[in-house]
Amino acid sequence: MNPKTVTYEQLLGIFGCLALALVAHLGALPGWVLMTVAAAGGIRLLLARRGRAAPSRGVRLAVAALAIVLLFLQFRTFNGLSAGTALLALMAGLKLLETDTQRDIYVITLIIYFVSMAALLEGNSFWLLAYLIGVCWLTTATLLRLTGTQPIANWRHSLRYSGRILSQALPLALVFWLFFPRFAGPLWHMPDDGHSAASGLSDSMSPGDIDQLALSDEVAFRVRFASAAPPPQELYWRGPVMHDFDGRTWRHGYPTSLAAPPLRTEGPAYRYTVSLEPHQHNWIFTLDWPSHSDLPGGMLTGDYTLVQRDPVSRAMDVDATSYTRTQSSAPLSEPSRKRDTRLPANRNPRSLQLAHTLRASHPDDMDYLRAVLAMFTQQPFYYTLTPPKLAGNPVDEFIFDTQRGFCGHYASAFATLMRAAGIPAHVVTGYQGGTFNRFADYWIMRQSDAHAWDEVWIGGRGWIRIDPTSAIAPERVERDLSDSVSADEPLTSRWQRRTPWLSDARLRLDALGQIWRERILFFDQDSQQKLLEWLNIPEPDGQKLVMVLAAALALVLCWLTWAVRREIDPSRKEPLIRAYSRLCAKLAAAGMPRQPHEGAEDYAARIAQRRPDLGPAVTALCRHYSSLRYAAAAARIGVGQFDAAVRSFRPRINSKPKA
């Protein structure tokens, strides 16, 4: 057989590496692309197992042409991250179908490295990087088994050697990461091509929407306070505000043209950093009520929502300042009053009649507000994640029939009753509470912390926050296997209390991920500037950064040169050779160096002739060496025993050799 012809085992190994690399793209690549790669690999493995060659050239060309056409029809281009990654995967699969020689496997190996790099451009998770490092490690070990001039004993040796190669490349990668000149923004980001989406709050809310988020453990954002955090009952994180109501669904309405009423702040100012996860909207979650942020191009809308021009398509950090207690003595503008008192005609008539009845006996706005909250407290309203479905007039059915709901039901009903009484009100959606990570001193807001509450306008006080869900007593929380929360406790908190040890491990892992985000993903020009200052480089600039890069590269390359020369030194390559070299060095010190042409047993014979006192010991050691290195059968002792025998061998130098 041609030594360059691939075997079934080699094909199986490289196909396994390709499959592991494509696992990182399961959510991004089209299913038919993955199926094509799997079919191509399976067919080629089946043929190799039966000792047959690859399919004919005509068959391969036909399959390749059909796959390329389908790819173009789906993406309409071969450019971009998604289309390019799909093209790389198809190339690897089609190349595997025609693989006959080791050269073909080298090409597939190179594609595997590129496919792994593409996964890093799609996602920036620390765990994704760790997984892909493992894939590259295994791929390198597989490649070593194909290119070695001597057969490698087992996978353990291959993995150990490939790990040493990758570890030697680590200092070089670290130098480039720290000192290669950066752009203004984070380097680890590719533009979104529109094929990805993130879960979270939307710009509309119907009763029952947020209860789906309450079952999700996905992280929405994290918050680190500059000093003390507010009390837990004041941790309301403001998102989209719902103004337009059609009787069933509340919608955002984008009221950016209306000026926000001036606020008189009370209490301490809280400064914090919000670490946002990507989502498909342009709002930034901030603590009620935001007063300042460092968001470039950011603005506060008329309802105090912090927004930017484009959607939050990548992870980002925003520094902001908020006050949890405010007042406003200025009157509400007429456009705002009309917008936040508007109700649809002929919808929820029983609720409107209830509001008129309560209003007649409570003409004062605050008295009326308290009366509505008292209704939720005194009547048998229940809090549940699995409320009954509501039909045409959901507010009527919730208040008078089912009386079971989630925060969205209570916020919608309360705002409707306020508007029906002529009191401006709107629904605010966002997040409430959170989980404090005591191992890294920051708060984690998950989708399970999603919440809805209300804001009502009271003359002389301004907008005040009302959370009608908190009026539900804990004993009126319905629980079952999938719905074990209280009115003021999200799923995540309940789960963490039940499994504290698992919760601690989870928080530690999250802290590690946050370090990865802050120190690696957001390492930019400012970070490099701080690094140069930490190195005590006076007046650091771009020119000095390049000089530091050149100096660091020179040091690393010198170390790599020394390491490689040390690696290829035969005396250091094998434990057996090192032990034999130690034996020869001891005999040379005793006045009997080995000649370059002498084999081990010839050398032992000469030693026995000149030094009879050393003859038996040296002869036994040299025979053991020859047996370990050259004999086909297993030697009587192992390499470790031989090395121990050499270390214990002590030739006497003062003996007088024979002439």
Q: How deeply is 265 buried, as exposed, middle or buried, from its count of CB atoms within 10 A (0-12, 13-18, 19+)? A: middle
Residue 578: band (very low, low, confident or very high) from pLDDT cuts 50, 70, 90: confident
Q: What is the pLDDT of residue 370?
A: 93
Nearest alpha carbon to residue 25 among 186, 135, 99:
135
Could you state, in order of their start, the residue ranges of all structural domains in the chain?
8-151, 159-187+530-567, 204-500, 571-648
pLDDT at 418 over 90: yes
- Rounded to whole angstroms, the Cα distance separating 476 from 403 reads 11
The SS3 call for residue 573 is helix
**Burial tier of 125 (Cβ tally within 10 Å: 0-12, 13-18, 19+):** middle
Most confident listed range (212-216, 323-327, 502-506): 323-327
Above 80 in pLDDT, residue 188? no
Strand partners, 480: none
- pLDDT level of residue 196 (50, 70, 90 thresholds): very low
pLDDT tens-digit readout, 86-102: 888 898 888 888 888 88
Averaged pLDDT of the chain: 82
Q: Are 384 and 322 in contact (CB under 8 A)?
A: no
Which percentage of the chain shows pLDDT scores above 90? 24
Catalytic residue among 17, 136, 407, 622: 407
Question: N- to C-terminal Cα distance for the chain?
Answer: 56
Flag whether pLDDT at 490 surpasses 80: no
Confidence band, pLDDT 50/70/90 cuts, at residue 192? very low
Q: Residue 504 — very low, low, confident or very high, per pLDDT cuts 50/70/90?
A: confident
Query: How many CB atoms lie under 10 A from the CB of residue 327?
Result: 14
Top mean-pLDDT range of 495-499, 536-540, 593-597: 593-597
For residue 326, pLDDT over 90 is answered with no
- Taking each helix axis as running N to C, give the angle between helix 31-49 and helix 81-97, from 0 to 180 degrees, rounded to the nearest 10: 20
Token pair for 57 = 């050239």
The answer to whether residue 136 scores a pLDDT higher than 70 is: yes
* pLDDT for residue 209: 55
pLDDT for residue 491: 47
Helix (H, G, I), strand (E, B) or coil at 300: strand
Per-residue pLDDT band at 632 (split at 50, 70, 90):
low
Q: What is residue 160's predicted lDDT score, i.e. its pLDDT?
A: 83
* Backbone torsions φ then ψ of 359, nearest 5 degrees: -70, -35
The number of C-alpha atoms within 13 Å of 333 and in the hemisphere containing its C-beta is 12
In this prediction, residues 489-506 reach a mean pLDDT of 63
DSSP 282: -
Cβ count near 26 (within 10 Å): 9
Least confident range of 173-182, 338-347, 396-405, 602-611: 173-182
CA–CA separation, 508 vs 502, rounded Å?
10
pLDDT recorded at residue 597: 86
The DSSP code sequence of 130-165 is HHHHHHHHHHHHHHHHHH-SS----HHHHHHHHHHH
Per-residue pLDDT band for 194 (boundaries 50, 70, 90) equals very low
Geometric angle at alpha carbon 536, from 532 and 537, rounded to 5°: 60
- Between 77-81, 139-143, 401-405, 585-589, the lowest mean confidence (pLDDT) is in 77-81
Least confident of 36-50, 100-114, 135-149, 180-194: 180-194
Which among 122, 118, 57 has a CA at the least distance from the CA of 85?
118
Higher pLDDT among residues 352 and 521, named by residue: 352
Q: Is pLDDT larger for residue 416 or for residue 202? A: 416
Q: For the residues 204-209, what does the mean pLDDT come to?
A: 71
What does 366-379 look like in DSSP terms, one character per residue?
A: HHHHHHHHHHHHHT
φ, ψ dihedrals at 328, nearest 5°: -145, 125
Please tell me the chain's helix, strand, coil percentages from 3-state DSSP, rounded to the nearest 5. Answer: 50, 15, 35
- Concatenated DSSP letters of 543-572: HHHHHHHHHHHHHHHHHHHHHHHHHH-HHH
**Distance from chain centroid for Cα 201:** 21
Is 467 one of the catalytic residues? yes
Q: How many CB atoms neighbour CB 473 within 10 A?
A: 14
Question: What is the reported pLDDT for 187?
Answer: 46
Task: Provide the pLDDT for residue 473.
Answer: 65
Q: Name the catalytic one among 467, 510, 622, 624.
A: 467
* Strand 250-251 to 204-205 pairing: antiparallel
Q: Select the more confidently predicted residue: 489 or 129.
A: 129
Strand partners, 486: 489
**C-alpha 523: how far from chain center:** 16
Q: Provide the pLDDT confidence category of residue 535 given band limits of 50, 70 and 90.
A: confident
Contact 392, 398 (CB under 8 A): no
496 pLDDT more than 70: no
How many angstroms separate the CA atoms of 59 and 54, rounded?
10
Q: What is the pLDDT of residue 507?
A: 85
443: pLDDT confidence band, cut at 50, 70 and 90?
very high
Q: Which region among 149-153, 316-320, 497-501 has the lowest average model confidence (pLDDT)?
A: 149-153
Q: How confident is the model at residue 465 (pLDDT cuts 50, 70, 90)?
A: very high
CA distance to 80, 186, 277, 314, per residue, from 124 (Å):
18, 12, 11, 10
Distance CA(17)–CA(105), nearest Å, equals 11
Distance, CA of 104 to CA of 5 (rounded, Å): 10
Give yes or no for a cis peptide into 457 (omega within 30° of 0).
no
pLDDT tier, 261 (very low <50, low <70, confident <90, very high otherwise): low
Q: Do 491 and 214 touch, CB atoms closer than 8 A? A: yes
pLDDT confidence of residue 260: 63
Query: What's the average model confidence in pLDDT over 347-352?
Result: 92
**pLDDT band at 127, cuts 50/70/90?**
confident
State the pLDDT at residue 287: 92
Token code pair at residue 292: 């300042």
Tokens 């007042």 belong to which residue?
327
Is the sign of the CA dihedral 456, 214, 283, 519 positive or negative?
positive
Catalytic residue among 365, 451, 454, 624: 451
The rounded distance, in Å, linking the Cα atoms of 532 and 381 is 62
Q: CA–CA separation, 470 vs 486, rounded Å?
A: 10
Do the strands 244-245 and 283-284 form a parallel or antiparallel pair, or are they unpaired? Answer: unpaired
Burial of 21 (0-12, 13-18, 19+ CB in 10 A): buried
Cβ pair 399, 350 in contact under 8 A: yes
User: What pLDDT sits at residue 76?
Assistant: 84
Helix (H) or strand (E) holding 213: helix 210-213
C-alpha to C-alpha distance for 288 and 325, rounded to whole angstroms: 8
pLDDT higher than threshold 80 for residue 634: no
Element (H, E) at 629: helix 615-630
- Which range is least confidently modeled, 173-182, 237-246, 319-328? 173-182
State the Cα–Cα distance between residues 131 and 123, nearest whole angstrom: 12
Token pair 């506060």 is found at 300
Q: What pLDDT does residue 1 have? A: 41
Per DSSP, helices labelled H in 291-406 are 334-339, 349-361, 365-378, 394-397
Q: Whose CA is closest to 494, among 437, 439, 449?
A: 449
**Entry field: residues in the chain:** 659
Instruction: State the amino acid at position 228 in one-letter form.
Output: A
Q: How far apart are CA 96 and CA 156, in angstroms?
A: 26
Over residues 105-114, the pLDDT tens digits come to 888 999 999 9
